[in-house]
Structure 1
Amino acid sequence: MSKPFKRLLLTGAAGGLGKVLRDRIKPWADVVVLSDIADMGEAREGEEIIQCDLADKAAVMKLLEGVEAVLHFGGISTENTFENIMQANILGTYNLYEAAHKQGTKRIIFASSNHTIGYYKWTDYIDADSPTRPDSFYGVSKCFGESLSRYYYDRTGLETVCLRIGSSFPEPANPRMLVTWLSYDDLEEALRCSLFTPRVGHTILFGASANPASWWDNSKAAHLGYVPKDSSVQFSDKFPDTGVYPAADDLATVYQGGGFAAVGPRYQD
């Protein structure tokens, strides 16, 4: 029985979330193309492995041959020097979009980040139309990716869902993550909705589970039908109420970006 896609590309397949998604997305495609600059091990049934540096334009053009849709998780996923971020996240994302356009790819799910809006405060409640406020060079690179995807949709019709991932780990590691946590099952569901909704245009979807507290209004992505099933409430007992308030200069508890917003430009000379 034929699957929805003939060739579905996952970039960043050797990364943390790439490893989580590798088996989960197999039901969606006859061939899942796994790509990363790092080693991904041996190909399993239904997989094709292509080691590729996203900064290599010719290699990315070849990578996109016959690919109908992309889950773009490639690039650097933490703060780094601007030079490194530029190659992996800015040039690499441009190469991917240009190749997708020329090779006839129909849709990209862009793994964006909550760090595109990390300098909003914990007391703010925002939606997809709120201006970006990146908290790091990494966040800046994800803002670039969102703008680039908007340009390619307006100019060429290449559709994108920008998934602003909160904190996708087995469980929250601190009180902030009780708000930003995205379970692996809900991540999978967000990707499923983003891939299979008939028309998405250019959509920004905040990637969080159904947590008790929320900073993000997903109403402008309602057409995707994403309904998270999990909640961080199950982990609340790990962070009991104390009545002790954080210091006024504890920026990790002031800004939504948490530690990213608190660190500052440590990678600058």
Structure 2
Amino acid sequence: MKRLLMTGAAGGLGRAMRQRMARHADVVRLSDIADMGDAAPHEEIVQCDLGNADAVMKLVEGCDGILHLGGISVEDKFSKILNANLLGLYNLYEAARAHGHPRILFASSNHTIGFYRQDQHIDVTAPMRPDGLYGVSKCFGEALARMYFEKFGQESALVRIGSCMEKPKNHRMLSTWMSYDDFDSMIECIFRAPMLGCPVIWGVSDNDSKWWDNSHAAYLGWRPKDNAERFRAELDAAMEKPGPNAALSLYQGGAFAEDPIFPED
């Protein structure tokens, strides 16, 4: 690509992936509402509130790919989720429609299906079962992306990220973990595919205990290589497993399934 836009560049996942983006595009345009530091020679820094339609329209101009990590990534007040995850995503898709349909990787979430039990194995045909307002916002995002594909031909990969971090932080993440390397290789496959469409893809490494079936997306050529199992002994030594009736043991969404909804002020 000539210019790749990465939103959410100041977030945890954005910071982790930032240096890796240079191999995907000549220029990487980084965006967030928060400070992102200084730009490297191949980078452009653009502070942007996704809820500002005019700003997002300018942000997308000149980009031929979008890695959309921006928005609220945890359970929060509906007003915050509304601006960043619903209105912000609509603004992004409208801007993409106006600027030639650059391919989009939309960071959806496992919290779209968080109320499935951990003894259930599902594929993308399973109905959504969001575990909070954050999960609901990602269900909206997937539906919005699908509509823009069906109506306007906007290609998007809807990546239901499990737990993308350096290593799993608890026993649930032995099933949901996706390594940075595996995410990076997924990004490459999504943007190089001759035809993408609008697939839902589980963002998970090749873990022994994974719950999700990605066989429908095999045409993309993505083959995750890492396995969270190598961290099991370390986790066993560092912490006790949660009890059998704890949300972390029962639900695929873990604690999100029991967290209260944040009240508005």
TM superposition score category, shorter chain reference: over 0.9
The alpha carbon displacement at 1:246 in A equals 1.9
Whether the aligned pair in 1 keeps the contact of 2:162 and 2:178 (CA below 8 Å) is: yes
1:208 alignment counterpart:
204
| Structure 1 residue 235 corresponds to structure 2 residue 234 | no
Map 1:180-191 onto structure 2 (within 5 A).
180-191=176-187
Q: Using the alignment, how far apart are the partners of 1:121 and 1:226 within structure 2?
A: 26
The alpha carbon displacement at 1:216 in A equals 0.3
The alpha carbon displacement at 1:105 in A equals 2.9
The alpha carbon displacement at 1:264 in A equals 3.3
2:118 alignment counterpart:
122
Residue among 43, 49, 55 paired with 2:51: 55
Q: Deviations over 1:126-167 (max 9, x none)?
A: 111111111111111111110000000000001000111100
Map 1:1-269 onto structure 2 (within 5 A).
5-240=1-236, 246-248=243-245, 250-267=246-263
The alpha carbon displacement at 1:201 in A equals 0.4
3-state SS of paired residue (1:227): coil
TM-score for the superposition, normalised by structure 2: 0.95
Q: Using the alignment, how far apart are the partners of 1:268 and 1:213 within structure 2?
A: 38
3-state SS of paired residue (1:164): strand
Q: Deviations over 1:47-99 (max 9, x none)?
A: 11111000000000011111111000000111100111000110000000000
Q: Using the alignment, how far apart are the partners of 1:32 and 1:244 within structure 2?
A: 41
The alpha carbon displacement at 1:240 in A equals 3.4
Which stretch shows the higher mean deviation, 233-242 or 102-111? 233-242
Q: Using the alignment, how far apart are the partners of 1:82 and 1:117 within structure 2?
A: 19
3-state SS of paired residue (2:156): strand
Distance 1:38 1:211, change over 3 A: same
Please list every run of at least 4 consecutive aligned residues from structure 1 whose deviation after the TM superposition is greater than 4 angstroms: 241-245
Q: Using the alignment, how far apart are the partners of 1:243 and 1:71 within structure 2?
A: 36
TM-score for the superposition, normalised by structure 1: 0.94
3-state SS of paired residue (1:239): helix
3-state SS of paired residue (2:76): coil
Q: Using the alignment, how far apart are the partners of 2:46 and 2:262 within structure 1?
A: 34
Whether the aligned pair in 2 keeps the contact of 1:252 and 1:262 (CA below 8 Å) is: no
The alpha carbon displacement at 1:245 in A equals 7.6
Q: Using the alignment, how far apart are the partners of 1:244 and 1:230 within structure 2?
A: 23
The alpha carbon displacement at 1:247 in A equals 4.1
Over the matched positions of the two proteins, sequence identity in percent amounts to 51
Count of aligned residue pairs for this structure pair = 264
The alpha carbon displacement at 1:224 in A equals 1.1
Q: Deviations over 1:167-222 (max 9, x none)?
A: 01111111100000111101111111111111110101101111111210001111
The Cα RMSD (Å) is 1.7
Matching residue's letter, 1:263: D
Gapped regions of structure 2 (runs ≥ 5): none
Whether the aligned pair in 1 keeps the contact of 2:114 and 2:251 (CA below 8 Å) is: yes
3-state SS of paired residue (2:2): strand
Matching residue's letter, 2:45: I
3-state SS of paired residue (2:218): helix
Matching residue's letter, 2:70: G
Whether the aligned pair in 2 keeps the contact of 1:67 and 1:105 (CA below 8 Å) is: no
The alpha carbon displacement at 1:114 in A equals 0.6
Gapped regions of structure 1 (runs ≥ 5): none
